[in-house]
Structure 1
Amino acid sequence: MNKKVEIEEQGNVISVLKKIDEILEKSNQLKDKDVKLSIELAIEAKLLSEEHFYTKGLANSLIHLGKSYQNISNYGEAMKCALQAIELFKGLNDTFGESVCLDILGGVYNFLGDYNKRLDCNLKCLELREKANDVSAQLTTINNIGDTYMAMGDFDNALKYFKHCLSFPDLTHHIQAIVYYNIGEVYYCLKDYELAEKNIAKGLIFGISCNYWQIIIASYQMQARMLILQQKNEQALLLLNKALDLSIKNSSKEEEYSLYRYFSEAYNNLELYQKAYSFLNKYNQLKEELLNDNNAQQLKKIEFEFQFKSIQNEAVVTKEKNKLLTRAFNQIELQRNEIEEINLSITDSIRYAKRIQDTILPSKEKINKTLKDSFVFYQPKDIVSGDFYWVEEVADNVIFSVVDCTGHGVPGAFVSLIASNALHKVVLEKQIIKPATIISEINEIVTKLFESSEEYIRDGMDMGICTWNKKNGSLQFAGAFNSLFIYSDNQLSEIKGNRESIGSSIYQHEKNFNNHTINTKSGDMVFLSSDGFPDQFGGEKGKKLKWIGFKEV
């Protein structure tokens, strides 16, 4: 009778253990489809395993939980599960289970940016998987090692491991797409563009064959970047458009964001500044959107950093109160670094806009050659500016101008590109040298260009422009809200421009700009300025300088 009961109990235990394995199998199938349900099933299996002292089931439950938590970026719980499971697998002498735990821990360290610890986990993981003779798992780990070395800037070792992947037989197209792309990216970093292009092209072929859209987008983008370096901008734009279509189709904002930057660069190289500005604007807008998402992710990272020591030393940390201060310091340090990274990213974007804007400013050599005994004081408040100066020579005439585009920051800077382009078209292409006519022509160009954008038309631009005849010394001037100042015979006089801004009318009406002719003589000094000087605050009372103060200076 007792033997019968014992057999029945054994049968019940076996049935429970089988049930645990079935629950875990279902949890594994759902980890990429329904993470929440996958976690619930893994927790159920964990509780049953603990109740029935089923060590293997408990270890596998922890692995499934660790993977699922990693998928939803809950790195604290993922690490706890992996650290508990690895000790259980060591007791079971299960090298494959150990390797999975190390893979999870490697992902955690990657999230933290601790690439040395990630590499340590990767190498230990590979050693265990080689012992288990699991070829598929080995390939994943070898590629991870190459990726870690690339993140560390060790390109020689990165190439070594990526190429090692290719030595395996019967590779899937999916694996080959990843590996060839990674090799191409390393060569790009090494500036070996020929080998970069060769490997990126191979990766693209395999990516297309298995519809691996992430690799396809990345490959098109990398090829476009190399074409831009060669000034093959039209070809680059074709590839960028392909990549953008695929990004939008797959709702991939990360890829879409990085593509906009290279659209802007290509259009700038083609001197299509309006399109360059449009894509740079999209780039900045999407960056801000992604930055909000990244900030949420960074908060998770800060929270995990705060818990990191307690996860590793949970048994002793409760009595070590001083560690709270250490963790608080680490959190503050992390936040400081995070703010610096965000500021650097924004500054990089603005500096890119400055490089574009700098192309329109005349060089010092050109100014000294064209206008001897002249000077330019140009000190933008920010990295980029809506103000700029312009000098060109047509026959015996020197045309010089100061322009104030009233938009602010990057938008103002790009409006200045449009103004410079308009000056070039009117003066150099149409050979118009009369200042009033030049302003009228530019007003017409700008108004037509922005007729669908009320914001820019309201902002517009102010301008002062002069034409000086080097032979007879006559000086012509016209202004759109800007004045000309002449210092002659110890007297300062002001010739005011019209109280009209270029393109700056809510209600459309015909604008007429007056042309002034002045006969200058040796020793006379003429000045053009934007409102940058009169708008300066300072002095004993901390008030604006204004035009009256500017004249006194």
Structure 2
Amino acid sequence: MLRVIVLIFLLLFTYTTPYTQNQSFIDSLSKILTSDAFNQKKADACLKIAREYVFSDSLNTIKYTNQAIQLAKEINYWEGVIDAQYMVGVLNSIRGNYIISENIFKYIIKKASSIHYLAGKARGLNGLGIIADYQGNYVKALDCHFQSLKIKQALGDIKGMAKSYNNIANIYNTQGDYTKSLNYHFKSLEKEKKLGNKKGISESFDNIGKVYQGLGDFTKALDYHFKALDINEKLKYKKGIISNYKNIGTTYYKLVNLEKALNYSIKSLKLSQSTFNQGEIAASLYLIGLVYQKQARAVLAKKYLSKALSLSQTIGISEQIRDIAQALSLIEKTLGDYQAAYEAQVLFKQMADSLQNENQIKKITRLEATYEFQQEKDSVYFSTKTQQIALKKDIENRKITQVSTFIGLGLLTVLLLISFLFLQSKRKSNELLIQKSKQLEIFNKQLNIQNRRINASLKAAQSIQQAFFTYETKLADLFEDYFLINLPKDVVSGDFYWIEQINDQTIIVAADCTGHGVPGAFMTLIGDNLLDKIIKVGKETDPAKILEKLHLEVQSSLQQRITGNNKGMDAVVVTIERDYTNASLTFAGAKNGLLVWSNQQLNELKGSRKAIGGIQDVKTRFVNHSKILRKGDILYLGSDGLRDQNNKARKSIGEEKLKILISKIATLPLATQRAKIESMLFNHMQDTEQRDDILWIGVKI
């Protein structure tokens, strides 16, 4: 759905002034312009008037913004110039001139940096980030918002922090990472409640509702959308009400309650037209077209979707153009216009390819990790600084005590000598205290250096491990649908997976190595190398034999019969051989089992009670299990980290709860299944730490 209204709202909400035209307020500001006030005060008044006109009178907006720039430049009031230029960027954004807006925001960032105007720089980064988001450049958008957030945190700008959290959450929602999106939206809501900002609270409620839409929890989605609508109706805040109507209509559409969906989408369209908001008009037209399509009213659907596409292309919103083109392709096909259907499908493919690529998602993950790591360093620095201030204050208090004691003892001449000796003792104590303080400072510096070296080593280890395990592309090539959840406890992981196609057989391995962190990561590299040797070089495809050979190779590589070393891994090995209609499955497990969704039932194939590596009972063998699979069956495999994760009451998720969840969601798309599993995990482990590496894979036959 189109998000231009959110763009404009977020750009304007950088300021604290409400953007609804108030004639009495404008008149009071106009009096300042005709008074003998200084140019700085006049420039600020012009800018406030421009903000009042921004949605109702573009000519007056331009007039007063230019006047503000001219007045500010005459007295070198560069903060005023920057704030006025921001309004120019906003106005161009409303008109859909994103390239012009982008250049203006870049100028603001450069100029604000040169005069050390941090609030202006944060504002420019905010504008640039939102423009990049709506042009589909999510990496650049996230980079800008994290930079803006860091400045706002340094300034103690709670309102600005709330908006940055909201912007970051919206990007994750667009990418389908609903767990992270909810996390940042709730951070934003917390700040808005702290400020008592009702518009901000309603916006957070509305956005949280949209995330629950993505998770398929439509009851919660409606609950949050109606909470937002209740606030906005009391405030008579039209722009918020438009968004609420649209999102409520969208939710009812997904619930296939088409009568209510049409009712709310028409309400959204009428109110959008009364405010001349092109972005929301396009979004409402699109939603109405979808409802008519669902009702099999193809002619009406085409009419509204065509209007929505034309307006969206004028504004230049990549995501909405993609979605409308896909819907129009189906409508044209229904109406028998195959040429138009083909052209719409080509447009859909072009827009989809430009928006989605694996490199952007990887860059976003690295960017967030860098930001969180910087937050940790800043926190350590702040803690050390606080200790130093406390120590300095303690020394000052001691000196005050010395002076007071000296004055008191000076009045008692009889005790003069005793006082002198006492002060000498105190002076030595202070010198010793100062010496210890310096030693503590040196120790802290050494500790920081060691921390940086350790972190650098861990980052290098992470890069090496990631370079070894690049199998996700093969998952996409070999299976119709899949999901992958890979969450290391530390920087590097002790869990890994391996996949290869040998002739007509697809082999998947999921392994959980002894330990986590660096020791576990070393075992993953050993395991990956040995699997290459056994399967790629040795051409072994029998799962039980693969596990037996892997067990012997680990024993040999680590010289376990000599050293007594007992490290190894638990593993699952699956071989799939396809024919024209079915597929045959052969499975063997070292302690871990395999879950199979087939014929609307979830079955478990248990692994052997024998691990890989260490000194094991030679009588216990790895055993193969075979099963015929049909198209649409799903395999689930991974480590025990997911089911063993505890909550703050120290209760684990457990195998039974995991099976119940999978049985409920197995018919959903695998991307949605991943979101559901992650949501369950995130809710379960609130207020506690991750206890082990987590690896969980789902593949559809």
TM-score (norm 2): 0.38
Larger radius of gyration: 1
Greater RCO, 1 or 2 (C-alpha within 8 Å, sep 6+):
2
TM-score (norm 1): 0.47
